[in-house]
A and B are shown apart, each in its own frame.
Chain A
Amino acid sequence: MKTMVAFALALSVLSCGGTARTRRTFPLVVSKESAALVTDTGWTVTLSSATVSLASARFFSGEVPAISRRWSPLDLLVSTAWAHPGHYVPGEALGELLTPLDVDLLGGEVTWGTTNAVTGPYGSMQLTLGSAGLRLAGTATKDTQSVAFDTLGFAPPGPIEAIAFAHEMDTSAGQVRLTFDLKAIVSRMDFAQVGTGADPLDPASPCFNGFGRGVQDSSAYHAVWEANP
């Protein structure tokens, strides 16, 4: 009773307003893009299996550094020297989903789980893969060549940082969709250089190295907010 009285008195003193931020949850849905998979070296990839072991997803306030400016004729006269693209600073942790999940990316969209979060300005996301990592298997064809491959699992040693997710998160209903751009992931793979073999793919081969770079490419993952209709 005394708690209720004190709470009522305190609220009457406060009269209005909160502390600007509040806790919330939202679902995180995982899917893949359906674009045709063609590598930079012209291989067309047909997947028979695409699985990923998800360990955690975290959302941060820090935005992903990006150079987005229109080309200007003045650049021909005075060019800009970009010494480096800037440093990604995660900033404040705003959301996280720490429940591991294995996902079949060819099986359609999957709800990974519920993200514990707080409201605020979101800038980026970090994705950590489980030890089984991302595994792709299928056939790569080019002209008359056909290569059956299986990457086995590959997981980067650390989280995949700086996945762009610019969104002013409030309490409105919705979900985050994380899309795996498999075309971007396989784009560096040259199936002409598979080392000792493609099935399983030689982990010392340039093809596997291209796969690993694709997995670690943060632009291969797209995170967007989808408001509930």
Chain B
Amino acid sequence: MRAGHVLALSLLLLWARLASAHEEPEELADAGVASPLPRGGLPSDAGAEPVDVDAGTSLGTTTVRGARAPHSASEVTVPQDVVQAAPKSGATDLLRLVPGLVASQHSGEGKAQQLFLRGFDAVHGQDVELLVAGLPVNEVSHVHALGYADVNWLIPDAVREVRVTEGSYRAFQGDFAVAGTVQYELGLEEPGLSAAVSYGSFNRLRLFAGVRPTEAPETFAAVEYVQGDGFGPQRAFGRVSLLGQATLKVGPARLRAVLGSAGSRFDSPGVVRQDAVDAGAGFYDAVGLRQGGSASRHQLLLGLELPHESGKTTLEVYGVLSDLRLKNDFTGFLQHPEGDGLEQQQSSGLLGARAYHRRHFHPFDSLVTLELGLGGRRDGLHQSQRGYREADGSPYRDDFSAAITQTAVNAWTEVAWQPAQWRFMLGGRLDVLHFEVKDELAFDGQGATRAAFGPHWALKAGVERALGEAWRLFLNYGDGFRSPQARSLSDGERAPFVHVRGAEVGASFLESVVDVRAALFGSHVANDFFFDHTAGTTVYVGSTLRGGAQATVSTRPVEGLFLAASLTGATAHVLESDSLLPYFAPLVGRLDAGYARAFPLWGLTWTPRLGTALTLIGPRPLPYDEFSRTVFLWDVRAALRVGRVELVLDVQNLLGSQWRDGEFVFPSAWEASAQPSLLPARHFTAGAPRQFALTLEVHL
């Protein structure tokens, strides 16, 4: 962000804030109680149009969007300058922007990250709903893990903002929104043509090109190609991703289209036994040398937005085609002398549509906001799993093969009444799921079919109170749910949902240069389970209770400087045994900071830029009263732009920490032995060592 832009943005925000005190535009209706503007951008469905502001310098044009106030203390928006401040080598770095979220990669650069949020071990997405520009990312009934959410195809440069709604307090939050919802909105920061080439440690090469027309700030097209050898054996990867978005105004209507195609191929180092490393094996070694996979995704969303006098209506249709082939082996030869490796395959086709309607009323000098959403999607997928021989990779055992059709229909509403300094919200949501499963291996390959059906009702409620200009208090309640794995259902079964009751009390302090939020949260799961995907088994643990506290601070104390920090503490207990659930992240801290300042010199505009990100992950509880090691990472970005050319130096893991990205406890047997140990042992996946990357960017 250049200095002129920062100044222009500040003036515009100040103007908007003053204007909001005297007018009642659509945005104010949605802005909550006497809200000053928070730091972030605006949800795409919130109705505000982006405004291009020519800052009057040669640096170009900055897009400034209106803002919508959060309706809980843990609704946070991460704007583009924060997203782009520190090095972002991929999806893991984008996920770490979410306060309290830990993203771990245990199978190479291409498989979905394992997520931990608010006391939940969301595995590969079962407890975190992810959307990109309105396109759902979580895959239902996925062969590898429930809610499998792969965002490796997301191009970091094209992320305009990250909107985080932690908890399940809002009615728009759907399947898998147990710990929260993360929405990535798309857009390039700078208009014109951008091209970049990066080269760094371990032969990592990245090519990027993007184009954004000045007159349509949300329209862009971008392509990214990345390849690398990885920081150890079995870590090579390559991926290509094309992503674009177009918006067009036709009279009062606004059309939006999002499209993307991506493909990747990756190797996986697997998980290494700690006792093997203690005995002399390398920290970055690999096991199970046939592990890895490939993934592809093709997607399209078409949207129509119709504003009207007191609100707007949005209609969207979307489709996603995705494929995954994955070879995993976490246990070696523990269960089968041929090898325990599993080859999983899934091909999915998703078609969906949603409608969203918002309207404002003004009874008795107060404001009432009505939001209504309707949606439906059909997921058709084919999945299979078979065992392969470690010696030659040939298959020797079929575990399952199934064709699944999963249909979901939902309707939700939120009604908010805002008398004076109060805001009362009451909402509800109905989700009905229908499953059809064809088990292709049943009855000696003749196959068997079964179907299940089930509704889920959810209540959402919130109370807000403004205290003066800056302070707001929140009290929220919400039910969330997670759909089941279709293959686990029997014929005629009323489909069971994991039902979550969550509550939160919080406060926020929003002022022009500082945004502080704090919340205490808790959630109860009646019949919880976690999927131990290293062993491929589901562990049912009964009732669980999670709780914790979160604080976020963002500030822009001086021109060109921002700081955004969060600290989350959480705990998760099994009620019956009063014991801790394993693996969740009890302490997560994150600090992003950036500074940019433009100045003229020798007839050119010079813009030095510094950015850094600190990540702290406290010890996580592991089975058998053990704890993982603390993780502390420091990433740094330094850049200098002269005119249209910019040179960027990225250093990730500046301290060169030898850290463990994931730690697990389970039995494995990698050595051929007549008496292999069957006891659970500590395993880990090594985190990336210090990495450098130099990028040359050209903006035309």
Residue ranges of A at the interface with B (Cβ–Cβ < 8 Å)? 2-3, 6-7, 9-10, 13-15, 17-23, 55-56, 58, 93-96, 98, 116-118, 128
Name the one of B548, B618, B621, B629 contacting A18, with C-beta atoms under 8 angstroms: B621
- Provide the B666-687 mask, 1 if CB < 8 A to any CB of A, else 0: 0100000011011110000000
| Contact present for B624 and A23 (CB under 8 Å) | yes
| Contact present for B616 and A7 (CB under 8 Å) | no
Question: What residues of B have a CB within 8 angstroms of the CB of A96 in the complex?
Answer: 677-679
Nearest-CB residue, chain B, relative to A98: B675
State in angstroms the CA–CA spacing of A96 and B667 once bound together: 12
Q: Which of B436-444, B572-580, B638-646 contacts its partner?
A: B572-580
| Contact present for B580 and A18 (CB under 8 Å) | yes
| Contact present for B619 and A6 (CB under 8 Å) | yes
| Contact present for A9 and B624 (CB under 8 Å) | no
State in angstroms the CA–CA spacing of A17 and B578 once bound together: 7
Determine whether B107 belongs to the interface, using a CB cutoff of 8 Å to chain A.
no
Return B655 CB to nearest CB of chain A, in Å.
10
| Contact present for A13 and B587 (CB under 8 Å) | yes
| Contact present for A7 and B618 (CB under 8 Å) | yes
| Contact present for B675 and A55 (CB under 8 Å) | yes
Listed from nearest, the 8 A-B pairs whose CB atoms lie closest are A20-B579, A93-B678, A10-B618, A13-B569, A6-B630, A22-B625, A18-B625, A10-B587
- Provide the B559-579 mask, 1 if CB < 8 A to any CB of A, else 0: 000000000011101100111
| Contact present for A21 and B619 (CB under 8 Å) | no
Interface size of B by CB at 8 A reads 35
Identify 27 residue pairs between A and B in the complex whose beta-carbon atoms are under 8 Å apart, listed by A's number: A2-B632, A3-B630, A6-B587, A6-B616, A6-B630, A6-B632, A9-B569, A10-B586, A10-B587, A10-B620, A10-B627, A13-B571, A13-B586, A17-B578, A17-B579, A18-B621, A19-B580, A19-B626, A20-B579, A21-B625, A22-B624, A55-B674, A93-B679, A94-B679, A95-B679, A117-B679, A118-B624
Question: What residues of B have a CB within 8 angstroms of the CB of A98 in the complex?
Answer: 675, 677
| Contact present for A23 and B587 (CB under 8 Å) | no
State in angstroms the CA–CA spacing of A8 and B624 once bound together: 19
Name the one of A9, A17, A20, A118 contacting B679, with C-beta atoms under 8 angstroms: A118
Return B582 CB to nearest CB of chain A, in Å.
5
Return B99 CB to nearest CB of chain A, in Å.
15
| Contact present for B678 and A19 (CB under 8 Å) | no
| Contact present for A14 and B548 (CB under 8 Å) | no
**Count of A-B residue pairs with CB < 8 Å:** 89
Return A1 CB to nearest CB of chain B, in Å.
11
| Contact present for A7 and B581 (CB under 8 Å) | no
Determine whether B622 belongs to the interface, using a CB cutoff of 8 Å to chain A.
yes
State in angstroms the CA–CA spacing of A128 and B674 once bound together: 11
Name the one of A14, A18, A21, A116 contacting B586, with C-beta atoms under 8 angstroms: A14
Question: What residues of B have a CB within 8 angstroms of the CB of A13 in the complex?
Answer: 548, 569-571, 586-587, 618
Question: What residues of B have a CB within 8 angstroms of the CB of A128 in the complex?
Answer: 675
State in angstroms the CA–CA spacing of A56 and B678 once bound together: 12
State in angstroms the CA–CA spacing of A13 and B616 once bound together: 15
Determine whether B50 belongs to the interface, using a CB cutoff of 8 Å to chain A.
no
Knowing that A13-B548, A14-B621, A118-B680 are A-B contacts, what are 9 other residue pairs whose CB atoms are under 8 Å apart, sorted by A's residue number?
A6-B587, A6-B619, A6-B630, A13-B570, A18-B580, A20-B580, A21-B623, A23-B624, A128-B675
Question: What residues of A have a CB within 8 angstroms of the CB of B680 in the complex?
Answer: 93, 118
| Contact present for B618 and A9 (CB under 8 Å) | yes
Nearest-CB residue, chain B, relative to A119: B624
| Contact present for A19 and B679 (CB under 8 Å) | no
Question: What residues of B have a CB within 8 angstroms of the CB of A20 in the complex?
Answer: 574, 577, 579-580
Question: What residues of B have a CB within 8 angstroms of the CB of A15 in the complex?
Answer: 571
Given A6-B630, A6-B632, A9-B569, A17-B580 contact (CB < 8 Å): yes
Which has the most chain A C-beta neighbours within 10 Å: B569, B675, B679?
B679
Return A58 CB to nearest CB of chain B, in Å.
6
Within 8 A of A (CB), among B601-621: 616, 618-621
| Contact present for A14 and B571 (CB under 8 Å) | yes
Question: What residues of A have a CB within 8 angstroms of the CB of B630 in the complex?
Answer: 2-3, 6-7, 10
Name the one of A3, A18, A56, A93 contacting B579, with C-beta atoms under 8 angstroms: A18
Nearest-CB residue, chain B, relative to A58: B678
Question: What residues of B have a CB within 8 angstroms of the CB of A22 in the complex?
Answer: 624-625
| Contact present for A56 and B570 (CB under 8 Å) | no
State in angstroms the CA–CA spacing of A57 and B579 once bound together: 29
| Contact present for B618 and A19 (CB under 8 Å) | no
Given A17-B579, A19-B579, A118-B624, A10-B675 contact (CB < 8 Å): no
State in angstroms the CA–CA spacing of A96 and B570 once bound together: 35
Question: What residues of B have a CB within 8 angstroms of the CB of A10 in the complex?
Answer: 586-587, 618-620, 627, 630
Question: What residues of A have a CB within 8 angstroms of the CB of B621 in the complex?
Answer: 14, 18-19
State in angstroms the CA–CA spacing of A14 and B620 once bound together: 10
Name the one of B573, B627, B677 contacting A7, with C-beta atoms under 8 angstroms: B627
Return B3 CB to nearest CB of chain A, in Å.
35
State in angstroms the CA–CA spacing of A187 and B570 once bound together: 61
State in angstroms the CA–CA spacing of A2 and B570 once bound together: 19
| Contact present for B625 and A23 (CB under 8 Å) | yes
Nearest-CB residue, chain B, relative to A118: B624
Within 8 A of A (CB), among B49-63: none
State in angstroms the CA–CA spacing of A6 and B567 once bound together: 12
State in angstroms the CA–CA spacing of A160 and B541 once bound together: 32
State in angstroms the CA–CA spacing of A20 and B626 once bound together: 11
Nearest-CB residue, chain A, relative to B631: A6
Name the one of B570, B618, B674, B679 contacting A6, with C-beta atoms under 8 angstroms: B618
- Provide the B275-299 mask, 1 if CB < 8 A to any CB of A, else 0: 0000000000000000000000000
Nearest-CB residue, chain A, relative to B628: A10
Question: What residues of B have a CB within 8 angstroms of the CB of A14 in the complex?
Answer: 571, 580, 586, 621
Nearest-CB residue, chain B, relative to A95: B679
Question: What residues of B have a CB within 8 angstroms of the CB of A117 in the complex?
Answer: 679
Question: What residues of B have a CB within 8 angstroms of the CB of A94 in the complex?
Answer: 679
State in angstroms the CA–CA spacing of A43 and B624 once bound together: 51
State in angstroms the CA–CA spacing of A117 and B632 once bound together: 32
Return B537 CB to nearest CB of chain A, in Å.
11
State in angstroms the CA–CA spacing of A19 and B680 once bound together: 14
Question: What residues of B have a CB within 8 angstroms of the CB of A17 in the complex?
Answer: 573, 578-580
State in angstroms the CA–CA spacing of A95 and B678 once bound together: 8
Question: What residues of A have a CB within 8 angstroms of the CB of B675 in the complex?
Answer: 55-56, 98, 128
State in angstroms the CA–CA spacing of A6 and B623 once bound together: 19
Given A6-B632, A13-B570, A58-B678, A19-B582 contact (CB < 8 Å): yes
State in angstroms the CA–CA spacing of A27 and B230 once bound together: 45
Return B219 CB to nearest CB of chain A, in Å.
44
| Contact present for B632 and A19 (CB under 8 Å) | no
Question: What residues of B have a CB within 8 angstroms of the CB of A93 in the complex?
Answer: 667, 678-680
Return A11 CB to nearest CB of chain B, in Å.
8
State in angstroms the CA–CA spacing of A17 and B572 once bound together: 10
